[in-house]
Amino acid sequence: MKKLLLFILLLAGCVFGYSQSVTFKGSVQDPGGLPLEAATVYIRSAKDSTLIDYTITDNKGNWQMKSRGVSQPFLLKVSFVGFGNYEKRYEPVAKDTDFGVVKLTDKSTELKELVIQADIPPVRVKKDTLEFDATSFKVRPDSNVQTLLKQLPGVDIDASGKITVNGKQVTQILVNGKPFFDRDGKIALQSLPAELIKKIQVSDFKTKKEELQKKQADSDNASINLTIDKDKNKGVFGRITGGYGTNDRYEANGLINYFKNNRKISLLASSNNINASGFSNDDIFDSMGGGRNMMMWTNGSGTTYVNGVPVGGGGNGITVTNIAGVNYSDEYKKGFDHSASYFYNDTDTKNNTRSRNETFLTDANGAATGESQITNSASDSRSINTSHTANTEFDIKPDSTSTINFRPKFVRTDTSRATSNTQNTTDQLGNLLNESSGTTSNDALSTAFSSTLTYNKVLGKRGRAFSAEFSNNNNNTDSDYYNITNTSFYNTGTTDNRNQLQRSRSLRDNYNIDVSYTEPVTDSLNLEIGSVYKWSSNTDDQKGYNFNPVTGAYDNEADVITTYLNSTTVTTNPYASLRLDKKKYNITVKAGTGIYSFDNYGTYMGSDYKVDKNYVLPTANARFRYNFAKSKRLTLSYNFNTSFASAPQLLPISDLGNALSTTVGNPDLSPEKSHNISMYFNNYNFATRSGYSLYGGGTINETQIVNYTSLADNGKRTTTYENINGGYSSYFGGNYNKNVKSESGNNLRYTIGLTANYNRSLGYLNTRLYSANRFSLSPTVNVNYDLGEVLTINPSYTYNINDAQYTNYSVGQVSNFVHKASLIITNYWPKNFVMGNDFTYTYNSQLSAGYRRDFFLWNTSISYNFYKEQFLFKVKVYDILNQNLGNSRTISASGITDLQNTVLKRYAMFSLTWKINNFGNKKRGSQGGIPGRGGMPGGGRMRRMP
């Protein structure tokens, strides 16, 4: 630990070493002499057009670069959308230099001639889009798109795969404007080669309605569009891998892509038993990092999702995964685009779980006793999941003023789960209160269909539009649940033995219609009026049967586990919205009235129950955004949210289906009401290659629904529900990142981050109202140092502390902290060899006795490219020290839970990969341009000037 922290400090010291450099500066103006903000200024080698450095002008048109000097003749270039490019040659410079004022010209004054080696700037800042020229950023041969993204300024990808750009989380990744298997882009990032990409466009995430009406986005999330180079948009490429290792571990996967202009077909297949997704294009660690258990408060499993379906294993259990998929997109004719995908996923997970839960008690009068009940449990489970997912999207333009977007999706899932478990509850002195053992199994078939149909019509005047959107979500689940358990209550000497079948049908139907009309009041002020209609129905029909030893079948009806529940909500929400868009800021205020019809019906144990309620409640949200500069923004938002109780919470039914827990609904419950506020500020400085973001927000509960729990002396729980106010939750944090590059090619990137949460939870235990004030703080440091193309060193450290302070409760305070330090070293020498080592140390301070608190996880791999780099042989070892653990701790308002799951342990794997790269004019082993990128040196393109 001490050595790792010392190493981080040494790398941080490199920042100061890098800062000893010369300064280049100047300013950029338009043809009229006004300063130009967000113009791209960059330096290329005069010899081969290699990019040396670049920056962006500030809001006063000024720019500045820090460099160790340029020891060769170079070209100073300036670019801005709408104006002609500027270029001037300079001799080597080794001292501070002011290049003065550069005044750009109109494009119309440029010569109309064929220009060879026309230059594309590395970065362009457009109105609402940040555009990177992919060929300007150097990556190693065979790198994937994710590796390319990591080279871009302001882009950060954490260990879980979450991508942020200038502090904004990326929630959508498209390829040529269309999803590649799924809109989250995980497969595209990990499987597509970087050399395929021409441009990377980063913009604010927009809903389909905002996109069609060309509105500014209300979201604080980002969207990335990967544009494929037209010269490489033809051909076949992909990779096929097969591997086998110790302990019968294996992997086999392949991804083949066929691109021909607008037509794109991709085939994917994989099979493995190493908890892997199967489509990683990482030549070093594959998905070994995903098996790393976080040992944090919430278990980070690392599971990948495609179309909402989990692919591969996470941190819980050992998973055998088989997947196959196809993705297709084409433009049949102008104005009619189509994309579709099908995904098959089959997983088989085995897991052994051990847990300890301690619940703090109060007595019947609500006084603190200092006593607790401790429940220890162990289970052995197997879960098999098979799913088929098909979705498609149509973009249709019937005419120049109308657009239709239709996105249907179908999912079928078969699930089978069997569990054998034992459980006992004791008091704090170890006296046994109850004991239970048995087996349960569940077979379920679920089908779901959802779709969204959006229509937008421009009505002559700029800004005037009509929009209509229909969406539905229909889910039908049939399941058979078998319960064979024996429970003993020792203080009363009673038992509860069950051999039952519960046959269930669950229906979830939701329909939503949103119709709106937008009228421009002025050039910058728009009024939108509309109405939302929602119909939602949830039905649970459960029929129970006891086992009949005479017939050998489950044919004796069991009233105690037979229920019928239905909840239907009809919502009508007329609304009006005002939106003011100015150059520097925009404000949106939306308000309306929600008219709700809330009907609930149920039958249980021969009795009928009915609770119908009607409400008229306000709806409101507001957003303010101020743009200080192109990459400096503040956003404030407010939302008022309303939600209703579920049928089990509302209907006065005493559900006796669980021997250890009884629930009773409360018909007097009111809806939950909450006020949500948030703040987000980000600032990225291209001149210094540094940026930071700050964020915060919270929820104030005007009314919420909480559990009202009573614990009997024998450990049995009885829970009903109550309304309460005074609870709240909050979050805040920020991060700072910087990139420093030397003229010799060495590169240093580091990120410092901090996240924190403060929540006040309320509840009842044995009639006593208690509160739990919980605080968590998690600072993190991540450093990445590239020593040319030879060595990459990546240390990181995260500290997480959690503290819970209780009021009017049997304990006053509970706390916990976790250390996590990691070091990743990747060596790319000698040629064609790559060796990687990934070390992680985790320590949890307060796990209970019998749960190990710390462990090391060390993964390593070595690979060799041969036969013109078409083949890759690799040896990798996961968890060399055989110490990986699946331990975690969770603190809730009423107690502490320690959990241990089965995790993947040490194995060695030998694999061979065949790389297929046959697209455009690409030939394996071709030279020229930036290595691994192809094309003309410096990313040049041929184009005809106007």
What pLDDT does residue 599 have? Answer: 97
The mean pLDDT value for 524-530 works out to 95
Residues in contact with 422: Cβ distance below 8 Å, sequence separation at least 6, in sequence order: 377, 378, 379, 435, 436, 437
What pLDDT does residue 913 have? Answer: 93
- Report residue 743's pLDDT band, with 50, 70 and 90 as the boundaries: low
Nearest 5°: phi and psi at 822? -140, 155
The answer on pLDDT for 579 being more than 60 is yes
Higher pLDDT, 812 or 22: 22
3-state SS of the chain: helix, strand, coil percent to 5? 5, 65, 30
- Report residue 108's pLDDT band, with 50, 70 and 90 as the boundaries: low
- Residue 816's H or E segment, with its range, is strand 813-827
Whole-number Cα distances in Å, 888 to 32, 223, 778: 64, 34, 16
- For 208-226, letters b (16+ CB in 10 Å) and e give bbbbbbebebbbbebbbbb
The answer on pLDDT for 945 being more than 50 is no
What pLDDT does residue 16 have? Answer: 42
Instruction: Tell me the HSE value of 87 on the side-chain side, using a 13 A CA sphere.
Output: 13
- Report residue 892's pLDDT band, with 50, 70 and 90 as the boundaries: low
The candidate with the shortest Cα–Cα distance to 237, out of 202, 195, 294, is 195
Higher pLDDT, 219 or 598: 598
CB 353 within 8 A of CB 207: no
Higher pLDDT, 578 or 278: 578
The answer on pLDDT for 937 being more than 80 is no
What pLDDT does residue 758 have? Answer: 96
pLDDT, tens digit (0-9, with 9 covering 90-100), for 371-392? 788 999 999 999 999 999 999 9
The answer on pLDDT for 111 being more than 70 is no
What pLDDT does residue 944 have? Answer: 28
Among the ranges given (138-142, 209-213, 289-293, 571-575), the one the predictor scored with the smallest mean pLDDT:
289-293
Higher pLDDT, 138 or 351: 351
Residues in contact with 304: Cβ distance below 8 Å, sequence separation at least 6, in sequence order: 161, 186, 277, 290, 310, 311, 312
The mean pLDDT value for 417-440 works out to 92
Residue whose entry in the numeric block shows the structure tokens 């400096």: 632
Paired residues of 724 in beta bridges: 704
Instruction: Report d(CA 909, CA 839) in Å as an integer.
Output: 18
Whole-number Cα distances in Å, 589 to 333, 760, 901: 40, 29, 48
365 three-class SS: coil
pLDDT, tens digit (0-9, with 9 covering 90-100), for 838-885? 999 988 887 767 777 888 999 999 999 999 889 999 999 999 999 887
Instruction: Report d(CA 440, CA 377) in Å as an integer.
Output: 14
How is 268-294 classified by DSSP, letter by letter?
EEEEESSS--S----TTTTTGGGG---
Among the ranges given (2-6, 37-41, 62-66), the one the predictor scored with the smallest mean pLDDT:
2-6
What pLDDT does residue 104 have? Answer: 92
pLDDT, tens digit (0-9, with 9 covering 90-100), for 309-324? 455 544 478 999 999 9
Instruction: Report d(CA 77, CA 24) in Å as an integer.
Output: 13
If phi over 0 gives left and psi between -120 and 50 gives alpha, with beta otherwise, what is residue 606?
A: left
Residue whose entry in the numeric block shows the structure tokens 């897991």: 351
What pLDDT does residue 288 have? Answer: 57
The answer on pLDDT for 237 being more than 60 is yes
What pLDDT does residue 942 have? Answer: 30
Instruction: Report d(CA 144, CA 929) in Å as an integer.
Output: 18
The mean pLDDT value for 496-513 works out to 95
What pLDDT does residue 175 have? Answer: 87
Instruction: Report d(CA 269, CA 278) in Å as an integer.
Output: 8
- Report residue 18's pLDDT band, with 50, 70 and 90 as the boundaries: very low
The candidate with the shortest Cα–Cα distance to 239, out of 251, 226, 227, is 251
- Report residue 549's pLDDT band, with 50, 70 and 90 as the boundaries: very high
What pLDDT does residue 654 have? Answer: 86
CB 912 within 8 A of CB 872: yes
Instruction: Report d(CA 286, CA 591) in Å as an integer.
Output: 49
The one-letter code for the residue type at 866 is F
CB 906 within 8 A of CB 878: yes
The answer on pLDDT for 294 being more than 60 is no
- Residue 702's H or E segment, with its range, is strand 690-711
The candidate with the shortest Cα–Cα distance to 542, out of 558, 525, 520, 524, is 558
- The fraction of the chain above a pLDDT of 70, given in percent, is 86
Among the ranges given (206-210, 698-702, 936-940), the one the predictor scored with the smallest mean pLDDT:
936-940
